Structure 1
Amino acid sequence: MATTSTRLSKQARREQLLDTAVAIVRAQGADGLTLVTLAEAAGVSRPIVYDHFGTRPGLLLALYRRLDERHRVAIAQAVQDAAPAPAEVARVMSTAYFACATDMPELSAVSAALKGNPDMEAIQHEMIDSYTDLMAAALLPHSGLTPEALRLHCVGVLGAAEAIAAELNRERATAEDAVTALTDLIVGGLDTRTDR
C-alpha cells in the first residue's frame, strides 16, 4: 500500500475519511461500509480509522451527522436567499429540501443502517428540532399563528416532507410534484390572516 508523503491534521484526516465513507455508501450502500473497507479505500491503516470512529456505529453516526449538517446548511442558505413572500419562502425551502433528499441518498441509507441504535434516536430528535426551528423562524414573519402553533405546524410539515421524499426516491413522484405538494402544505397551514 502506498503511503502519503504529507501528513494530514486529525480534522483533515477525519474529513478525508468521511468523504471516502460517502463514496463507499454511494457505490455499495451502507452495508458495504465498515471500518476495514473504509481503511482500505482511504489508503490508511485500520488503527487510524478506529482512532477516529471506534466502531461501525460510531462511523455511521459521524457520517449521518455530517450529511445532516450539509442538508441543513443548504436549506438555511436557500431560505436566506429567498424573496420575502410566504409562497416564495415555502417554495425555496421545499426545493432545497428535495434537492438534498435526492442529491444525498446516502443520508437515507445511513439512517436505515442505524435503525435501533439509541444514539441515532437522540440525533434524529436534534435534527427534527433544528429543522423545525429553521423553518419556523423563516415562516414566522408570514404567519398569523402563534409561535407555538407554527412550530407544531412545522413538525407536521417535516413529517410530510419525509414521506414525500420517500415517494420521490422510489420514483413515484417527480421533483416538481414533490416541491409543489410540500409548498402547498407549508403555505396552506400558515394562517396568514393576521387582521383577526
Structure 2
Amino acid sequence: MPDYGSSQTREHILKASWDLIANHESSLKLTEVATKAAVSRQAIYLHFGDRAGLVLALVQHMDETLDLGSKLAHVRAAPDGAELLGRAMRLNTQFWSAVFPVARILEAAQNDDAALSSAWHDRMTFRQKTFLAMIKQIADGGELSPDWDIEEAAGVLYATAHFDTWRELTHHLGWTEDRYVVAMTRLLCRALLRRS
C-alpha cells in the first residue's frame, strides 16, 4: 500500500500534474491528476491543501527541476552589465522554451481560473523582483544609463523578457534562440546601459 504522505508521493503528483498540463493542455482537474498519479484526491489535499496550492507548488517545482537558482546565480556573476543582460536573455529563452506548454495555459487562463491566475501572478512577481535585482546590480556598478531610474529600467527589462514578447518573436516570427539572445541583448544594452 503506498504511503500517501511521503515525499515520493508528492513528487509523483507534481510530475503527473506537469505531464497532464504540458501534454494535454489540461486545466489541471484534481480527478485527472489523481488518476494520472494513481493516488486518491485526498492524497492531493494532504500534500497541497487545494487545487490552487497544487498549481503554485507545480510552478515552483518547475523552477527547482530546471535548477533556476543556480542559473540565476550564473547570470548575476557576470563581470559587467552587457554580459549580465546577455546571460539573462539566454536564460530567459531557455526557461520559456522549457516551460512553454505550462506557461501558455497559465497565461491564457489567468482571467478565468483563480488557481491558475494565482500561480501566474506569483511567477510574474518573482520575475519582477529578479529583474529589479539585476538592474540594481548594473546601477551599483555605475553602468545604468542616467536616462533611467532603477524601477523604470527594471520594468523595461521585465516587459522585454515577458512571455508574450518571447512567444511572438520565437513562435510567431520564427526567431532562433541565438537570434533572440543577440537581438534582445543589443536592444537592452543600447537602451539601458551608460554609453562610454
- TM-score under structure 2 normalisation? 0.77
**Matched residue, 1:174:** 176
**Matched residue, 1:135:** 134
- Structure 1 gaps, min length 5: none
Letter of the structure 2 residue corresponding to residue 111 of structure 1: E
Q: In the alignment, is the contact (CA less than 8 A) between 1:20 and 1:38 conserved in 2?
A: yes
Tell me the alpha carbon deviations over residues 16-57 of structure 1, each in whole angstroms, 9 at most, x when there is no partner.
3212211222211133x2111111111211211133334434
Partners of 2:158 and 2:47 in 1: CA distance: 32
Q: CA RMSD in A?
A: 2.9
1:192 and 2:194 correspond:
yes
Partners of 1:53 and 1:19 in 2: CA distance: 14
**Matched residue, 1:100:** 95
Q: In the alignment, is the contact (CA less than 8 A) between 1:39 and 1:45 conserved in 2?
A: yes
Partners of 1:142 and 1:8 in 2: CA distance: 53
Letter of the structure 2 residue corresponding to residue 182 of structure 1: M
Bigger shift: residues 88-97 or 107-116: 107-116
**Matched residue, 1:45:** 40
1:4-153 matches, cutoff 5 A: 4=2, 7=3, 10-31=6-27, 33-67=28-62, 70=66, 72-73=68-69, 75-82=71-78, 84-105=79-100, 106-116=102-112, 117=114, 119-120=118-119, 122-124=121-123, 126-140=125-139, 141=141, 143-145=143-145, 149-153=149-153
- Structure 2 gaps, min length 5: none
Partners of 2:128 and 2:90 in 1: CA distance: 20
Shift of 1:179: 0.8
Partners of 1:134 and 1:71 in 2: CA distance: 19
Bigger shift: residues 154-163 or 120-129: 120-129
Partners of 1:156 and 1:42 in 2: CA distance: 41
Shift of 1:98: 0.5
Partners of 1:13 and 1:114 in 2: CA distance: 28
Corresponding residue pairs, total:
187
Partners of 1:114 and 1:63 in 2: CA distance: 16
Relative to structure 1, the CA distance from residue 122 to residue 176 in structure 2 (aligned partners, 3 Å threshold; closer, same or farther) is: closer
Q: In the alignment, is the contact (CA less than 8 A) between 1:94 and 1:183 conserved in 2?
A: yes
Partners of 1:177 and 1:170 in 2: CA distance: 14
Percent identity, please.
21
Q: In the alignment, is the contact (CA less than 8 A) between 1:71 and 1:100 conserved in 2?
A: no
Q: In the alignment, is the contact (CA less than 8 A) between 1:91 and 1:179 conserved in 2?
A: yes
Query: Tell me, what secondary structure is at the counterpart of 2:161?
Result: helix
Partners of 1:122 and 1:164 in 2: CA distance: 17
Tell me the alpha carbon deviations over residues 143-183 of structure 1, each in whole angstroms, 9 at most, x when there is no partner.
2446x713311211221222331121446322122112221
Letter of the structure 2 residue corresponding to residue 143 of structure 1: E
Tell me the alpha carbon deviations over residues 120-157 of structure 1, each in whole angstroms, 9 at most, x when there is no partner.
575255224322233224423252446x7133112112
Relative to structure 1, the CA distance from residue 85 to residue 121 in structure 2 (aligned partners, 3 Å threshold; closer, same or farther) is: closer
